Amino acid sequence: MVESAPLRIGIAGLGTVGAGVVRLLEENRDLLIQRAGRRIEIAAVSARRRDADRGVDLGAYAWHDDPLTLAEDPAVDVVVELIGGEAGPALALVEHALANGKSVVTANKALLAHHGSRLGRIARQRGTGLCFEASVAGGIPVIKVLREGLVGNRISRISGILNGTCNYILSTMRETGRAFDDVLADAQKLGYAEADPTLDIDGFDAAHKLAVLAGIAFGTPVDFDQVYVEGIRHISPLDIEYAEELGYRIKLLGTAVRTARGIEQRVHPTMVQASEAIAQVDGVFNAVVIEGDHVGRVVLQGRGAGAGPTASAVVSDLVDLACGRPSPAFVEAAETGIGPVSMTEHDGPSYIRLMVRDQPGVIADIAAELRNERVSMEAMIQRRHQPDGAVPVVLTTHPSKEAALSRALERIGALDSVLEPPRMIRIEL
């Protein structure tokens, strides 16, 4: 039996994930030969610094100071892009590799959220692969599940915890009662949050991932600008306490839903019933819930980041390429007439927390503003004074249009009796 030629790869970016890919390929070399039917060999690498200590021996591999030259190296069949960033060197490398007829494996969700549809078209035109299992939820094979395991289903909804940093912060706040800023500082010390945590805590990282998932699930163009994004900075221990009392837990969820009007894509803090499986996912773990017309509900859970889980996903794409089975990057326009829906059209229940003066008529004024926008209250909780004399009032509403609720809250916030801007968290039924 003649052994197939090895699949030769070039890795650009040797940070945590890049070094993890090198380590996995070395440690599981024989296992991968059995599963891929051929060897997967590192032919070349590229990074900003040659002298950095990465915990792996790179001496046997050709070094490229310029990552673009990986795309021109005849010894490289597949370029693995692990540089990161939505543009700059990462985008230039992927474009150059595809133009040179080389397949690309990437973990870059920001790149795909902004350029995925265009890059997918280039890959199809050139007859190459653009693979990105590692771009969403780390070691959870959610993209393969959507493309392969659930290929016979019409997907109606995807909802998930797509950012481990936010999940760790919210879980720790619930367990300890500590404030957001304190828990964020601890997350940074532990390495769960970046020195600049903006992408994570303001929801952009989760939104990048959701845009990718929605494009695959619904056959629509990947368009980050169509994702509504809201982070977790405003979540307080008081909100978490009330959520528990009402039977909910607060999670930052990315949700894409097929509605009669089109596809709704949104990332925001969400109150989830405490009995739901996704509400039990704590710490840095991720989870994704997919709903299909024939399979029903599928729940996937696991580590969403880190060297090992993300490297595992990268190597799964490499094995697919070695076996000659790359999936199309994105299949657009699978359904005609389907498009994005504005967040103003969202219709659902909400939690509202107000800090008000203790004086007669306050509740009547609030109820009047809600009634004027046809927003119906479901329940109300009024508790003890806070140390500053303010009284917290919590309302839950029946399902209502986002635009109407926003107008009502703007007028409620302008009332003299309301001491700070209303806090609203959407409820997932």
Q: What is the pLDDT of residue 306?
A: 85
Q: What is the pLDDT of residue 85?
A: 92
- Of 102, 109, 189, 209, catalytic: 209
The span from the CA of 56 to the CA of 311, in Å, is 14
CA separation, residue 8 to residues 17, 78, 79 (Å): 18, 6, 9
The span from the CA of 133 to the CA of 287, in Å, is 15
Q: What is the pLDDT of residue 333?
A: 54
Q: DSSP state, 340?
A: B
Which amino acid, one-letter code, is at 45?
Answer: V
Q: What is the pLDDT of residue 239?
A: 96
Q: What is the pLDDT of residue 386?
A: 64
Q: Which residues pair with 269 in a beta bridge?
A: 252
CA separation, residue 376 to residues 216, 265, 269, 369, 413 (Å): 36, 25, 21, 11, 18
Annotate 238-252 with b (16+ C-beta within 10 A) or e (fewer).
Answer: bbbbbbeebebbbbb
Is 285:161 a contact under the CB 8 Å cutoff? yes
126: left (phi over 0), alpha (psi -120 to 50) or beta: alpha
pLDDT grade for 1, boundaries at 50, 70 and 90: very low
What are the pLDDT digits (tens) for 249-288?
999 999 999 998 899 999 999 999 999 999 999 999 999 9
Mean pLDDT for the stretch of residues 178-197: 93
Annotate 330-364 with b (16+ C-beta within 10 A) or e (fewer).
Answer: bebeeeeeeebbebeebebbbbbbbbbeeeeebbe
The span from the CA of 287 to the CA of 301, in Å, is 4
Location of structure tokens 């009502």: 408
The span from the CA of 70 to the CA of 44, in Å, is 7
Is 77:7 a contact under the CB 8 Å cutoff? yes
Is 243:249 a contact under the CB 8 Å cutoff? yes
Structure tokens at 182: 């304190």
Is 46:79 a contact under the CB 8 Å cutoff? no
Q: What is the dihedral of CA 360, 363, 364, 366, to 10 degrees?
A: 130
Is 61:35 a contact under the CB 8 Å cutoff? no
The span from the CA of 75 to the CA of 94, in Å, is 17
Is residue 214 over pLDDT 70?
Answer: yes
What are the pLDDT digits (tens) for 386-408?
666 788 999 999 999 999 999 99
The span from the CA of 51 to the CA of 160, in Å, is 39
- For 258, the enclosing helix (H) or strand (E) is strand 248-258
pLDDT grade for 2, boundaries at 50, 70 and 90: very low
The Cβ of residue 272 has, within 10 Å, a number of other Cβ atoms equal to: 23
Half-sphere exposure of 96 (CA within 13 A, CB side): 19
Lowest-pLDDT choice from 329-333, 373-377, 400-404: 329-333
The span from the CA of 17 to the CA of 125, in Å, is 29
Mean pLDDT for the stretch of residues 35-45: 95
Q: What is the pLDDT of residue 339?
A: 82
What are the pLDDT digits (tens) for 219-253?
888 999 999 999 999 999 999 999 999 999 999 99
Q: What is the pLDDT of residue 304?
A: 84
Catalytic annotation present for 189: no
The span from the CA of 274 to the CA of 401, in Å, is 24
